[in-house]
Amino acid sequence: MAAGSDSEEEEELVSYGAALQPLQEGERPKKPVPLQEQTVKDAKGRYQRFHGAFTGGFSAGYFNTVGTKEGWTPSAFVSSRQKRADRTVLGPEDFMDEEDLSEFGIAPKDITTTDDFASKTKDRIKEKARQIAGVVAAIPGTTAFDDLIGPSKITVGVELLRKMGWKEGQGIGPRVKRKPCRQKPDPTVKIYGCALPPGMSEGSEEEEDEYQPENVTFAPKDVMPVDLTPKENVHGLGYKGLDPSQALFGVSGREHLNLFTGGSEETSNLLGDLRHSKGRKLGITGQAFGVGALEEEDDDIYATDTLSKYDTVLKDEEPGDGLYGWTAPKQYKSKKRPEREFKYIGKVLDGFSLASKSSIAIKVYPPPQLPRNYRPVHYFRPVIAAGKENSSLQKALEESTGKLGSDAAQHSRHALDAAQRRELLGETGLKGPAPSVLEYLSEKDRERLKEVKQASEQQMKAKPVAQQPQNRFQPAPPEDASPRWQMVLGEQLANAAPSDFKPFARNPEKQKRYENFVKSLKQGEKDALERFLDPSMTEWERGREQEEFVRAAMFYRSSNSTLSSRFTRAKYEDDVDKVEVPRDQENDIDDKETAVKMKMFGKLTRDKFEWHPDKLLCKRFNVRDPYPDSSIVGLPKVKRDKYSVFNFLTVPEPTTSTTQATNKQIQESNSHNKPKKPSRWDVSDKEKEKKDSISEFISLARSKADVQQQPPVPAPEKCATGPSETLPTEVTNEGKDQEEESKRPPMDLFKAIFGSSSDEKSSSSEEESDEEQQATTSVMESETTKQADKPDSSSSSVQESVAAATEPGAASLSASKQELDEAEEFGPKLPPAFSSGRFCKLSDRKEKHRKTREKHKAKKEHKRKKEKKKKHKKQKNKGKHKNKKSEKDSSSDTTESSDSSDMDTTGLSPKELLRR
Amino acid sequence: GSIDSTVRCWDCRSRRPDPVQVLDEAKDGISSVKLSAYEILSGSVDGRVRRYDLRAGQLYSDYIGSPITSVCFTKDGQCVLVASLDSTLRLLDKDTGELLGEYTGHRSTTYRLDCVLSEQDTHVGCASEDGHVYFWDLVEGSLVLSLPVGTGVVQSLAFHPSLPCVLAATQGQVTLWREETFQPEGDPD
């Protein structure tokens, strides 16, 4: 079926040109002939010459030589003595080349119409030229006489027509009985001059027009041949130049003495008053000063009478109406006159003639219809703040300016971007590489943001200028210690080029606010932030957003390089289906960034790849080739379909998991900051106040240590919020757990698919976070005393690290104390509620942790070994320390066997010894 | 190391002009390259320290965040010192990538400045943009000494591999620093 239709299609196809011959196997395609080598040859195989001897080209006989194929031989002498009689006269053709005689030569030998058969219109130009020549000639008029004397050449066509009874000036066709259509004055023709006497009005004319001789048939009107001469000059339309006859003799062409018309004077009168021009002198004269009203110009008696004034050809005299010729009945002629006069009574100005055709009325097109709601006044939009009380006014304004329509269009289906559509559909976001800081927010937080967004939607919609005035009345947010970071940031941003770094791309309003913030920060405004925050937000929300902005602005620079690092030159050709993708890629940097910020170097910041050194390189380094039988050099690559989904899926996998982990960490670090439930925020004013104090404190701490951003947060919170906060935290943690769990299945799926290629690190970090959560929950369950519950339930990673730091101190309390001091000095702050007395307990609990964790591990049956996990755990803890000593200890732990890691404290690794 | 974000390895013994291997993993210019017996260590402006282990056939990439100006191995080959443009020196464990120490106090925000380790790995040194050379105790992390070398940026700094001897260059001037007890060889005293 398909084949049948194919063949049909082929039949229907139209092909142009000759198809290329199919290439033979092994045959190399012919190279195209370069332009300079392309030649044209004639039928005989000679080089084609495009110019003959008579047309300016060099032309030699045979291949540009004077010879022939046989060489050059002069023609043999032939005596012409006997052949004088039949000696032919040589014409120019005898000396011409073939090229000259060819189609484009000077004397083409193709069939053309001879003069006899040529149409008459063709030689009009010639005739005109002859006339002019006759006028300008030394003895003017000679050519005219030539015409009179010499036999006029009549073409065959005319001759034939004449024989059939045709007379010149008449149309061709059967004679008609009825009178030809009278030229009625066009109704659109304007009639100048005063009104006609009643006798001369149309009615009388009509009556007169009725005159029709009996039994007279008329030849049809001659068709005036259309002048088809193209306009080749640059003169204006209808420009004719100076008529030589007029110029030289001061007589207009129309003034020719009409020898043959009886009423010539009348006609000339009819055509226009020519008395003025009669007085002309030779040469070009004008009436520069005109003739006074009282003067009457006389005829110029000295005007020469020239022959050109006389008509030399018998022809029809009335250019407008050549119907009857000059032999027309007198009545008709006389009758014709009033119509003419009727049209225009006044004098025809010199140089002007009455139009034979009435001008066509200019069609006037109506102007375009204005829209109904158009107002011909430019409206300067007043700056109106989009407040709640102003929104209606704003709307009205927009309506008046027609902005509403565009706004509506903006919200049409097509104007939405993918994210907005997704939001409308209620789908979950893609798990892509974290594009923004927003990624680090929890699900709930995002929900909250969405809510906020929705709440302020109408307000925001029409908000070109933010709520500046409104904000003025708002109490200034708690940001007393802000100047310092402002200075820092301002400096940073001042020399940073504007870029499209969009940390809040998800939330356009927020992004807008952020941009405003950055802009004003660049200009060095102090109160930048307060102004651009959303007034509909609560105090706390604003504080948080402020922090976020500041952080984002801090990120700004490094993120810039981050962005640029995401774009590299194209490494793959576009038209290749398969693409060499590095099997392992360096993970997204966003999470690393946070890790670096938190000084958690180690696993989080490290990427490990298989790398194949060049063989020669190995040789030169005197190292055994690690991959003796691999042919790869560099990072191993995997061929993948270019547009395969899996290409993109592999990358997100590690990032999502790690971001989750880091998310969690961040969250935990300032978990109290986050809203647990939207309902929590309308609890009481008291709590709000408390929150203010918190944020104040936070910002203060932040400005103090702007490098160590994350760690100090939890400490002040804890002291401020107290035990009342613990319960919600639990709830959130559990909720988070559930969320995590619900998210898990797709991850497993990914792992199942990319079991081999999945990053070790990602899985480990995932597990880790998993572990942690599990541990916390289990601990919470197992914990009974409320007092103990307090520090643990928060289960912040920082705390854990603290616990880890103190853990070795289980053996010797004093040592641990010392360590704690150091930890406080360098590392994250400890909750002040901590007392050294609890360390034992803590360590106990820690062990419990470990047990539960291990249990959990066994239950889960991860691919990784226990040892490794433990080690990893250790490392992670270690990473959180800034304390050199504890770090060393823990690192020594790592090097030691994992079993003894809990107890080992004093043993120094050989590395350490070496270092000292 | 090149600004085109590659590290190129040439074979000095052959006369071939093209490199034996091009390490093009970096996303930005390479600011510093160091070699050990079996490793290539490169610091890149993209904020990563990459260590190519030829023996193990592995590439370790450590993310530092800020553009890296200089990297160097410790003498024992266990650690890596990294100087970056956030005015911080970091001592990283080579094997795990953990942070062992952080040294701050100097100023390095725009120039590519050198960092060094003393001949016995006891101290960490780094040039600064304020015309000093700073030395920290490697273990304590405390600032031990700041040598006033000049007024401008100390552009280059080198430590003698076996002697306590520092060479610093600033503003067209090279200064050599020795311990106090040192007597120049040509000196009659």
Q: Per-residue pLDDT tens for A696-739?
A: 444 554 554 444 444 443 433 333 333 433 334 344 444 444 44
Instruction: Collect all residues of chain B within an 8 Å Cβ-Cβ radius of residue A888.
Output: 100
Instruction: Collect all residues of chain A within an 8 Å Cβ-Cβ radius of residue B45.
Output: 561
Note the pLDDT of residue A525. 54
Say if CB A886 and CB A816 are below 8 A apart: no
Written as six digits, the tokens of A713 are 């947060």
Tell whether B3 is within 8 A of chain A (Cβ).
no
CA distance to partner chain A, nearest, from residue B168 (Å): 25
Report pLDDT digits (tens) over B141-172: 888 888 888 788 888 888 888 888 888 888 88
Note the pLDDT of residue A76. 72
Residue A95 lies in a domain: no
How far is residue A317's CA from residue A264's CA, in Å, rounded to a whole number? 9
A494, A544: one domain: yes
Report pLDDT digits (tens) over A522-555: 666 555 555 555 566 667 777 777 777 777 766 6
Residue B82 lies in a domain: yes
User: Which of A68-77, A149-158, A191-200 is predicted with the least confidence, judged by mean pLDDT?
Assistant: A191-200
Residue B186 lies in a domain: no
Residue A613 lies in a domain: yes
Note the pLDDT of residue A769. 43
Q: Domains in chain A: how many in total? A: 2
Q: Write down the mean pLDDT value for chain A.
A: 55
Residue B188 lies in a domain: no
Report pLDDT digits (tens) over A761-784: 444 444 444 444 444 444 444 443
CA distance to partner chain B, nearest, from residue A690 (Å): 36
Mean pLDDT of A811-838: 41
Note the pLDDT of residue A144. 58
User: Which of A661-665, A752-756, B34-38 is predicted with the least confidence, judged by mean pLDDT?
Assistant: A661-665
More confident: A44 or B113: B113
Pick from A593, A911, A915: CB nearest B65:
A593
The radius of gyration computed from the CA coordinates of chain B, to the nearest angstrom, equals 17
Q: What are the residues whose beta carbons fall under 8 Å from the beta carbon of A914, sequence distance 6 or more? A: B76, B78
CB contact under 8 A, B141 and A565: no
CA distance to partner chain A, nearest, from residue B17 (Å): 15
User: Which of A78-87, A468-477, A537-546 is predicted with the least confidence, judged by mean pLDDT?
Assistant: A468-477
β-partners of residue A361 are: none
Note the pLDDT of residue A519. 72
Mean pLDDT of A800-804: 40
Note the pLDDT of residue B162. 80
CB contact under 8 A, B98 and A601: yes
Q: Which domain holds residue A613?
A: 587-644
Pick from B20, B58, B98: CB nearest A614:
B20
Instruction: Collect all residues of chain A within an 8 Å Cβ-Cβ radius of residue B76.
Output: 911, 914-915
One-letter amino acid identity for A453? K
pLDDT of A793 strictly over 50:
no
Say if CB B86 and CB B41 are below 8 A apart: no
Note the pLDDT of residue A824. 39
pLDDT of A369 strictly over 80:
yes
How far is residue A52's CA from residue A693's CA, in Å, rounded to a whole number? 105
Mean pLDDT of A181-197: 45
Residue A516 lies in a domain: yes
Q: Which domain holds residue B155?
A: 7-178
CA distances to A402, A416, A425, A435, A446 from A429, in Å? 35, 15, 11, 12, 11
Closest residue in B to A492 (Cα) is B109
Written as six digits, the tokens of A98 are 């073939």
User: Which of A19-28, A266-275, B10-19 is predicted with the least confidence, judged by mean pLDDT?
Assistant: A266-275
Note the pLDDT of residue A17. 81
CB contact under 8 A, B62 and A601: yes
CB contact under 8 A, B97 and A612: no
Residue A230's φ and ψ, nearest 5 degrees, are -70, 155
CB contact under 8 A, B61 and A633: no
- Identify the top-confidence range among A272-281, A411-420, A662-671: A411-420
CA distance to partner chain A, nearest, from residue B55 (Å): 6
Pick from B47, B76, B90: CB nearest A915:
B76
CA distance to partner chain A, nearest, from residue B13 (Å): 9
For strand B68-73 and strand B79-84, is the pairing parallel, antiparallel, or unpaired? antiparallel
Tokens 């390189």 belong to A617
More confident: A626 or B36: B36
How far is residue A24's CA from residue A509's CA, in Å, rounded to a whole number? 66
Note the pLDDT of residue A386. 45
Residue A617 lies in a domain: yes
Tell whether B110 is within 8 A of chain A (Cβ).
no
Note the pLDDT of residue A245. 58
Pick from A561, A603, A614: CB nearest B46:
A561
> What CATH number has the domain bearing residue B99?
2.130.10.10
Mean pLDDT of A108-121: 67
Note the pLDDT of residue A503. 60
pLDDT of A869 strictly over 50:
no
Size of interface A-B (CB pairs under 8 A): 148
Residue B183 lies in a domain: no
Pick from A561, A613, A916: CB nearest B57:
A613
Say if CB A726 and CB A799 are below 8 A apart: no
Q: Model confidence at B48, in pLDDT bands (50, 70, 90)?
A: confident
More confident: A143 or B85: B85
Instruction: Collect all residues of chain A within an 8 Å Cβ-Cβ radius of residue B139.
Output: 884, 915-916
Written as six digits, the tokens of A238 are 């209808």
Note the pLDDT of residue B3. 80
DSSP tag of A74: P
Residues 116..175 of B with a Cβ closer than 8 Å to A: which? 121, 138-141
Q: Model confidence at A581, in pLDDT bands (50, 70, 90)?
A: very low
Give the helix/strand (H/E) hosting A100.
Answer: helix A98-101
Residue B189 lies in a domain: no
pLDDT of B178 strictly over 60:
yes
Report pLDDT digits (tens) over A344-360: 556 667 777 777 777 77
A595, A559: one domain: no
Question: Coil, strand or helix: which one is A704?
Answer: helix
DSSP tag of A62: B
CB contact under 8 A, B97 and A606: yes
pLDDT of A258 strictly over 60:
no
A561, A592: one domain: no
Q: Model confidence at A785, in pLDDT bands (50, 70, 90)?
A: very low
Question: Percent of chain A having pLDDT more than 70?
Answer: 21
CB contact under 8 A, B61 and A586: yes
Instruction: Collect all residues of chain B within an 8 Å Cβ-Cβ radius of residue A620.
Output: 11, 13, 20
Pick from B54, B63, B141: CB nearest A884:
B141
Our CA dihedral for B95, B97, B102, B103, rounded to 10 degrees, sits at 70
Report pLDDT digits (tens) over B90-134: 888 888 878 888 888 888 888 888 888 888 888 888 888 888 888
Closest residue in B to A625 (Cα) is B55
A490, A561: one domain: yes
Residue A594 lies in a domain: yes
Report pLDDT digits (tens) over B53-76: 888 888 888 888 888 888 888 888
Closest residue in B to A621 (Cα) is B38
Mean pLDDT of A155-182: 72
Tell whether B20 is within 8 A of chain A (Cβ).
yes
pLDDT of A858 strictly over 80:
no
Residue A544 lies in a domain: yes
More confident: A119 or A281: A119
Say if CB B154 and CB B168 are below 8 A apart: yes
Give the helix/strand (H/E) hosting B72.
Answer: strand B68-73
Mutate to test the interface with B, among A491, A567, A601, A913 (most CBs of B within 10 A): A601
Closest CA to A96 of A49, A55, A42: A55
pLDDT of A865 strictly over 50:
no
Q: Model confidence at B173, in pLDDT bands (50, 70, 90)?
A: confident
How far is residue A395's CA from residue A376's CA, in Å, rounded to a whole number? 21
Note the pLDDT of residue A6. 47
Mean pLDDT of A279-286: 43
User: Which of A85-94, A688-697, B15-24 is predicted with the least confidence, judged by mean pLDDT?
Assistant: A688-697
Note the pLDDT of residue A585. 54
Tell whether B46 is within 8 A of chain A (Cβ).
yes
More confident: A122 or A349: A349
Q: Domains in chain B: how many in total? A: 1
Residue A853 lies in a domain: no
